Structure 1
Amino acid sequence: MHVTIRARLLRILVLALAVLLALLGAAAAEQFSAYRNAAVTAANARLSVTLQTLVHALQKERGLTLGHLGGVRQFRDGLPARRRATDTARARLEAALRGRDDTVAAAVRVSLRRLDALVAIRRHTDDGTATVEEAFDGFTAPIIVLDRLGLGLDDVRDGRLRAACQALRILGGVKEFTAEEHALVLGAMPAGRFRSDDYLRFLQLRAGRLAALESFGRSATVDQRRRLDAALGTPDAVRALAYEGTAVRGGGRLGSRTLVPVTRWESMASTLNGLRSVQISLGRDIEDRAAALEGAARHGLLLFTLFALGTVATLGHLALDCVRSVSTPLDAVAAQAREMSGTRLPLTLVAVRHGGPGRTPPPAPLAVPGRAAPEVRQVAEAFDRVQRVAYDLAVQQAVLCRDTAELRSGAGRRERNPVRRRVGALDGLEREDADPAALA
């Protein structure tokens, strides 16, 4: 089966287009993946800030609850407001989860169920049946679960954004270690010393906080470290660390005269608020970086799309131009060549033979479209030369026939026999040359 030039051109075009679209599709998929990753990271960063608001409220309620259970009666009046703040933060987090059905949202919803146990802890706190240890564990367990949720921030591709997410996660650990230390101290202050193994836990929490601060310095930027240093350098934070130093130097003994519960609570709350402000600023850094990456990925995806469309249009134009300059003109020339060899040239040769030389004009050259390629024009010129040669031969044959006729009429009887032999030979040549099929 013979394949036309047009079919071959279409094959080449389809193959080139398929390869190009595959490459562009892979690049576009990478850009789209980067765009989606940045968009999801920004959404998860906002969710993380909302979640940390709930953790912050729980940490404050825990400290106030433990201080109340430890014997500081002044804290009882502040519990209702603290509980409302916790419930409001939980409602805001649940509202932020509406409409999301991804794995991150599912993990947060499962973790939020642990907060249902707070109902019993609050009730036992109010009726006086709760202990410091039970309340501490009841608050700390869900806080740790919520605080350690990755929220997909570990799957970030951009190095700078991944470092910011890591710094935010570490800062959450610093804040929780600090809040747990303060809660243990508040619960032990009325007794003047830590209960059972609370001092050992206090030392472990202090060591964890110091290690987390060191790790934060490796992941955070200079500006982020400066923000944390400013939060830990406020008078309330310095005072809180001084209270902690007193507890460490006392070997587990706390002096109520040295550590005033209300002052201690105010310093703790101010320190946690400062750390919370740093958390919010880190969340904004993540959102800004993710938004920049999202915009860059969107721009790149748009450029890839335009490039793909432009490339496809260019290939289509080149293929169409090739068809217009080669395939279509070649079809036209072939049709004319068939008409020339089958009809026009034989009729012209017959007209030359019977009409005599000089009376029949030469055949017109083949018409070539203006967009035809040089190769097509060369083919047309070759056909023109063929029909011109055939025409010239026909003219020569007509001239020969005329001379032969004159020779016959002017020869004498003495020369008739030799002339007849010459004329017979010429007639044989004439019959061969006059065959139109042979000339075609």
Structure 2
Amino acid sequence: MAGRKRSIRFKIFAILLVPVTALVVIWGFAAKLTIEQGQQLLRIQKVYDNIVYPVSAAINELQTERFVSVSYLAWRTSSLRTDLQVQRRKTDAAAVLLTRLSEQARDETPPAMWDRAQDLIRQMDRLDILRGQIDDHRLTRLDAIEEYSTVVETAHQVYDRLMISPDIDIIEQTKALILITRSRELVSQQSALVLGAQASGRMTQDERDAFSGMVGKRRLLYQLGTSQLDAGLLKQYGALNSTPVYTSFVSLEDDVISRVRPGQPLPPEALAWPTTAQALTRQLTETTDAAADATAARAVPLAQSVLWDIGIVGGLGLAAVLATAFISFRFARTVTGELSILHRAAADLAGRRLPDLVRRLRRGEDVDVAAETPPMAQASGTVEIENLGRAFTSVQLTAIEAAVGQAELRKGVNKVFLNLARRSQSLLQRQLGMLDGLEKEINDPDLLERLFGVDHLTTRMRRHAEGLIILSGAVPGRGWRNPVRLYDVARAATEEVEDYLRVDVNMPHGYSLAGGSVTDVVHLLAELIENATVFSPPQTRVQVRGELVARGFAIEVEDRGLGIPPEELAHLNARLADPPEFDLADSDRLGLFVVGLLARRHNIRVSLRTSPYGGTSAVLLLPQEIVVENDTREPAVERLAQPETPPPALALTPPISGGAQDSLPRRVRQASLAPQLREERGDLFSSFQAGWQRAQEDS
């Protein structure tokens, strides 16, 4: 299968687009990387405002709700119940705020971070289940701590995906702060665990083991986090480590681990645990938030510097791309413009000038080949296009010379047709005259019948000779000055058909045909009637009917054959409506060409349609201009007008010589007789001959 065709303009632009596109792609890729880097540095602030800070607030509320929930499980007082309800509403508000703000930063948030934030929101929406278990006292204090810690862990996993900056230093500082934030969570867990133990005055073995694990994990995370901080941020945590709150908290951790025994009363130092733990949590939160703000602020100058680089490098690159594209496309437009001029000249030759030239040649006009072949392309700045223009000019000259040669050849062929047809017509006319003389002299019925057969064959041969004259563009010699009855026209056309005995003519006697159209209409009808007899079974009849209609006179020739397929019928109607130029190779459709040419000559509409009997009906619509209404006082049998030329009259055989008077129509032997009378040959035919001779003498 051939590929999709493209214009020259498209291909030239495609060639020029390759280097330009490559340059644009390289520049765009470099600019994209730089812009993305700057955007990543700038969007960290939006992610902090809409994801990090709301998550941090949610963690604080979850830690507080966990602390109050454990207190409620330990003491079960109504005041703690009230505090718990208040805290739950704060936690729910934090969840709603996180949901709303996170949607505003959805496009800027890394996918993994976004997914974890949505997991946190879904877990906070399901806190009612956990809260119901706490209200029904179906959980231990340690179980409650673990359930809340699971939700808080999801929140910390949001921080783990906080990798939105390409700067390695910012990434390392962010990871360090995340580790410190996790250590703060363990402080909150420890505080809740010790608070629950204070309610009963002792720790269980599970609670002591859990506390020991929390202490070790907190110290490890805090050490790892602070060890990764740079000097500026580490200074803030160094100040925190030297505060009495931090040293007291560490001392209390050591006391609980070393002095608390499972099932034994808590030491007095444990009573100061809640106050110390909450104070440390508050200071850790403030210090971490300050460090996070400082880290986020570091990204702003870096992003601004990157954007300046983008402005300078990107602007210069874009200017280079635009200059290259301008020069390339201007060159391409110049070339395509020259090619377009050449294309328009070639299209004008093919679509207007050459068809017009062919029409003029068909009309017989003389054509100056030199004047009809101007140069097809003017001077161009491209050598190849100038060469192409000259080649087109040469092709133009060859095409026009070929058209002129074909026209001359066609004229020659038409002259041959016309010459042969005129000679045949003259000989046939002489033959008809000789037959006419013999028919007058012979009285033998059998011999006269045979002469009638030869007369009929000669008449058909004359029609074929006239067909060649029509195809050559000339007009047959015979014609009439006065109108001729349409009935006689139809009967004369029937006479020129071989199987005329199968044709029934039913025409009104009140209308005639203008004399100038008689010969051509007879020929046209004869072609259609012969076609109907040839393409229908021999036992069927062919009907020729006529009637006056609104736009003229309609004549219908109907056969009862096998009909014509719809596609072929439409094709034939199209050729009859607009006859194409005669093609010598299409000799099987000479009759169709003749019918089309004759119909067009007299503005007659000829159309084929399917007959109700399965055959084909040919309908001729004679225009009003060539139809004449007869004088109703005329006799039923009218005489034909005398033809302008010597050829036979419209009757079945040529007119009888003997002056310039009108001649009566002569019947074909037995054509009008009933079937039972056609067997009577002797006396009946002799009587017919005698009557015919008397009619000649009277004329």
Match of 2:266 among 255, 259, 264: 255
Match of 1:22 in 2: 25
Letter in 2 for 1:45: Y
More displaced stretch, 164-173 vs 74-83: 74-83
Match of 1:201 in 2: 210
Letter in 2 for 1:69: L
After TM superposition, the structure 1 = structure 2 runs for residues 303-322 of structure 1, keeping only pairs within 5 Å, are 303-312=312-321, 315=324
Letter in 1 for 2:177: L
Match of 1:382 in 2: none
Letter in 2 for 1:255: L
The structure that has the greater radius of gyration is: 2
Match of 2:7 in 1: none
Change (3 A) 1:15 1:205: same
For the 8 Å contact 2:119–2:154, the answer to whether it is kept is no
When normalised by structure 2's length, the TM-score is 0.41
- 1:76 and 1:241 map into 2 onto residues whose CA distance is 31
- 2:135 and 2:242 map into 1 onto residues whose CA distance is 36
Match of 1:274 in 2: 283
After TM superposition, the structure 1 = structure 2 runs for residues 288-303 of structure 1, keeping only pairs within 5 Å, are 288-303=297-312
- 1:268 and 1:84 map into 2 onto residues whose CA distance is 24
- 2:24 and 2:329 map into 1 onto residues whose CA distance is 19
- 1:209 and 1:219 map into 2 onto residues whose CA distance is 16
Match of 1:95 in 2: 100
- 2:329 and 2:130 map into 1 onto residues whose CA distance is 79
Change (3 A) 1:201 1:75: same
Secondary structure of the 2:313 match is: helix
Match of 2:64 among 60, 67, 78: 60
Measure how far apart 1:144 and its partner are.
1.0
Does 2:143 correspond to 1:140? no
Change (3 A) 1:22 1:117: closer
- 1:121 and 1:319 map into 2 onto residues whose CA distance is 70
After TM superposition, the structure 1 = structure 2 runs for residues 137-216 of structure 1, keeping only pairs within 5 Å, are 137-150=146-159, 152-154=161-163, 156-216=165-225
- String of CA shifts for 1:16-62, please: whole Å, max 9, x gaps: 64443333222101112212322343333331122011111111221
Match of 2:89 in 1: 84
- 2:286 and 2:132 map into 1 onto residues whose CA distance is 31
Secondary structure of the 1:153 match is: coil
Match of 1:112 in 2: 121
Letter in 2 for 1:21: V
Identity %: 17
Change (3 A) 1:106 1:217: closer
- 2:292 and 2:174 map into 1 onto residues whose CA distance is 8
Does 2:231 correspond to 1:227? no
More helix by share: 1
Measure how far apart 1:80 and its partner are.
3.5
Match of 2:54 in 1: 50
Measure how far apart 1:127 and its partner are.
4.8
Measure how far apart 1:303 and its partner are.
1.9
Letter in 2 for 1:68: Y
- 1:191 and 1:133 map into 2 onto residues whose CA distance is 13
- 1:132 and 1:32 map into 2 onto residues whose CA distance is 52
Measure how far apart 1:124 and its partner are.
4.2
Letter in 2 for 1:35: G
- 2:85 and 2:254 map into 1 onto residues whose CA distance is 31
Match of 1:37 among 26, 37, 40: 40
Letter in 1 for 2:270: L
RMSD: 3.3
Change (3 A) 1:194 1:280: same
For the 8 Å contact 1:42–1:286, the answer to whether it is kept is no
Measure how far apart 1:269 and its partner are.
1.9
- 2:254 and 2:103 map into 1 onto residues whose CA distance is 45
- 1:317 and 1:129 map into 2 onto residues whose CA distance is 78
- 2:84 and 2:206 map into 1 onto residues whose CA distance is 27
When normalised by structure 1's length, the TM-score is 0.62
- String of CA shifts for 1:225-275, please: whole Å, max 9, x gaps: 222233344433333333222201214456263322xx5323222211111
Measure how far apart 1:137 and its partner are.
2.0
Change (3 A) 1:146 1:322: closer
Measure how far apart 1:112 and its partner are.
2.0
- 1:298 and 1:34 map into 2 onto residues whose CA distance is 9
For the 8 Å contact 2:116–2:155, the answer to whether it is kept is no
Change (3 A) 1:272 1:279: same
- 2:149 and 2:331 map into 1 onto residues whose CA distance is 75
For the 8 Å contact 2:58–2:91, the answer to whether it is kept is yes
Letter in 1 for 2:244: P
- 1:193 and 1:40 map into 2 onto residues whose CA distance is 50
- 1:232 and 1:56 map into 2 onto residues whose CA distance is 22
More strand by share: 2
Change (3 A) 1:18 1:244: same
Letter in 2 for 1:86: T
- 2:300 and 2:97 map into 1 onto residues whose CA distance is 23
- 1:105 and 1:92 map into 2 onto residues whose CA distance is 15
For the 8 Å contact 1:66–1:135, the answer to whether it is kept is yes
Letter in 2 for 1:290: A
Match of 2:75 among 71, 75, 79: 71
- 2:324 and 2:277 map into 1 onto residues whose CA distance is 69
- 1:230 and 1:78 map into 2 onto residues whose CA distance is 34
- String of CA shifts for 1:60-79, please: whole Å, max 9, x gaps: 22123213323385755543
Change (3 A) 1:209 1:44: same
- 1:148 and 1:11 map into 2 onto residues whose CA distance is 51
For the 8 Å contact 2:70–2:195, the answer to whether it is kept is yes
- String of CA shifts for 1:320-341, please: whole Å, max 9, x gaps: 9999xxx9xxxxxxxxxxxxxx
Change (3 A) 1:190 1:320: closer
For the 8 Å contact 1:167–1:219, the answer to whether it is kept is yes
